Amino acid sequence: MTTILFNKPFNVLSQFTDSGSQGSPRKTLSDFIDLPGVYAAGRLDRDSEGLLILTDDGRLQARIANPRHKLAKTYWAQVEGIPDDRALQALRDGVVLKDGLTRPAKVQRMDEPIGLWPRNPPVRFRKSVPDCWIALTIREGKNRQVRRMTAAVGHPTLRLIRFAVGDWTLEGLAPGQWSYA
């Protein structure tokens, strides 16, 4: 069984080929990983960064990707504004989205992560609007869920990094790097 941890950079697709590109091809996993037979366990949107697990074990892939297993996924989100206690409590209680109520999340404000790499292109900075980092742990995987949750409580996500999936973390992995789990 092969399982690898990959720190997916911003603007990279979570697949090995780019079938939907119009014009110049977009970066894919094949630009970073040359291991036959491994596939992404779950997804991470092109505009999100961070931990992506790849494996050749179908059972492990299903356990990671299928929401019924409720595997915890922790994200670091840079959000617009400074969420107050009421906004954080709303995330903890579950947020109503167009596709239903989210499960309760663990959430807390945090300092900018130590050793955080710069994003290319950088997040837009506005002098008149402060921003803040939060750590958010969810146990489901609705499409673009973290971004939709933070927007629903009035704090749109500016930058999103998946830090952990279950017990696996990004520790020691620079963007574009991978290691065996």
Contact 31, 46 (CB under 8 A): no
| DSSP labels, 120-138 | SSPPP--TTS-EEEEEEEE
Catalytically active residues, by annotation: 45
| DSSP labels, the chain | --EEEEEEPTTB-SSS--SS-SSSPPB-GGGT---TT-EESS---TT-EEEEEEES-HHHHHHHH-GGG---EEEEEEEES---HHHHHHHHH--EETTEEPPP-EEEEEPPPTTPPPPSSPPP--TTS-EEEEEEEES---TTHHHHHHHHTT--EEEEEEEEETTEE-TT--TT-EEE-
